[in-house]
Chains A and B, each alone.
Chain A
């Protein structure tokens, strides 16, 4: 609180206050609306949907079919919602570079504007999770509890994404990606939509406030780093074992050579 009062004359104070106000309104709204209801859409116009359809036909329809009804090569996108499009296209996973065990992250192929238009088009085909607004992604607000987020993360996420969120292997070439540097928006969208083999964690399972806690936890461990120095990728016994076998045994061998050598 002391740090807060010192910064009350900061030029960004007004913006922070505004954000806090938005958060409170957003929070009240979230409580008022039922858990499974799609969240408030970011404003889209008819022209966005039209532009999005053009982009979709040109770039996505080969696999997902005209009208996103699905083909043998790609699933139907009716009802997946704007959040799904924003996640898959915004992280560069879609359009798919090649067939494989799972879509991989690459530099996004579309601008934010184009992504928004495609999301608007897909959202217009059937109701689904919307792109989360700023108010649910802000983790600086009051009542956000990273410790609770940590507990939820360990119960729901850590078995695939690793307790330190470093990612891990799944079956047959699939994997859960590491979460360092993933934006709050994409983390939230992944939980809501369950991309690829990730299960869906809808708002009835993990409420928007709890999702906020999880995102806050991820930000905290990103900022604080490892409690014990170099974490060697936080991958556990494989990287740690390799290090100690190579470096530790190397040091022991060097000492043995020194112990038995004659002094000059």
Chain B
């Protein structure tokens, strides 16, 4: 380490002093000298550029023709091969139609249009006189309308303005009925049979062998007019595992049947279908955000952003051996909502 305990900064020669680091004032270099382009000096290059631009516009014309050829002259039968061909022609056609015009115009401007540099000086911003003028105009308008002198007009205008907005509420209300309590109930009820998705055929308890997974919809769903609205809430995954690996909590002992359990397929995070069942680990994985539910712990969340376990559908077996629900879900299915509580 150098000895810096003696002397003063002014005389050390290592410390910057005023005036020492000053540079020459920066000079504006101005615009570079104008360099003519090839097309400016060589008539043949100019002709060539003209032809190139024309060619690019022709490419655009051809692209549009290709589009219409694909649109009108590719008959769509039932195979994917013709669909693929049509897709290809429509896509290529539009791409060339747009690119041809765009690239052509840019090429035209760059090679043939004048290229002298222009600088525009910034004009002076608002002057005080302008501001006073504008203020006077507003004041005149207020004065001439007489809104300050005529409270009747002012008040009725205010009233009309406020009321005129209200019909919007009625119009938005007509977009649909309020959801009411539909989010809290599903089609499931006591005695509703569990049926296969999509055929709607009932399932016997003996059909569900250990390790099986059935995708289930409630009986009668396929007969509904708006069946997707009900299906979105009522889909269930039915699985059978060794009864010993299930440990139902008090009050839920009779919600399954000999190791057969049914859980809502709607993720409690944002409502994706949780149907990735691993039959050895008994994990249910949601494909959207990787929430993982453990079937042996009543679908407790063991990983991921979901916070509530999947709701369980209490099931039993009817006289004919078919699986039936013994009630609706005991809690709303799917993601949280404002009034869920």
Interface residues of A (CB under 8 A from B): 35-36, 151-152, 155-156, 159-160, 168, 170-171, 174, 176, 194, 196-202, 204-205, 224-229, 258-259, 262-264
Contacts and interface: CB of A to CB of B under 8 A. Distances in A.
Contacts of B239: 199
B37 A155 contact: no
Contacts of A227: 80, 83-84, 87
A156 B273 CA distance: 12
B317 interface: no
A191 B166 CA distance: 60
Contact of B196 (A160, A205, A224, A263): A205
Given A35-B207, A197-B279, A224-B81, A171 B303 contact: yes
A197 B281 contact: yes
Contacts of B196: 205
Given A229-B87, A263-B39, A201 B303 contact: no
A155 B198 contact: yes
Contacts of B276: 159-160, 170, 176
A176 B106 CA distance: 50
B281 A36 contact: no
Contacts of B303: 171
Contacts of B203: 204
A229 B290 CA distance: 30
A224 B79 contact: yes
From DSSP, what is the main secondary structure of chain B's interface residues? mixed
| Listed residue (B203, B208, B209) with the most chain A CB atoms within 10 angstroms of its CB | B209
A227 B79 CA distance: 10
Contacts of A198: 279
Given A155-B215, A171-B283, A197 B83 contact: no
A152 B196 CA distance: 10
Nearest to B286: A159
Nearest to A154: B198
A241 to B, nearest CB: 16
B245 interface: no
B278 A170 contact: yes
Nearest to A174: B278
| Listed residue (B81, B88, B206, B285) with the most chain A CB atoms within 10 angstroms of its CB | B285
Nearest to A158: B275
B273 to A, nearest CB: 7
B275 A159 contact: yes
Contacts of B277: 199
A41 to B, nearest CB: 19
Nearest to B210: A200
Contacts of A35: 207
Contacts of A200: 209-213, 279
Given A152-B198, A204-B204, A229-B88, 14 more contacts: A159-B287, A170-B285, A194-B279, A196-B280, A197-B279, A199-B239, A200-B211, A200-B212, A202-B212, A205-B207, A225-B80, A225-B84, A263-B37, A263-B115
A226 B39 contact: no
A36 B205 CA distance: 13
A263 B40 CA distance: 11
B245 to A, nearest CB: 15
Contacts of B110: 262-263
B38 interface: yes
A152 B273 CA distance: 16
Contacts of B83: 227
B212 A201 contact: yes
B264 interface: no
A229 B81 CA distance: 10
A256 to B, nearest CB: 11
Contact of B214 (A36, A205, A225, A259): A205
B230 interface: no
A70 to B, nearest CB: 14
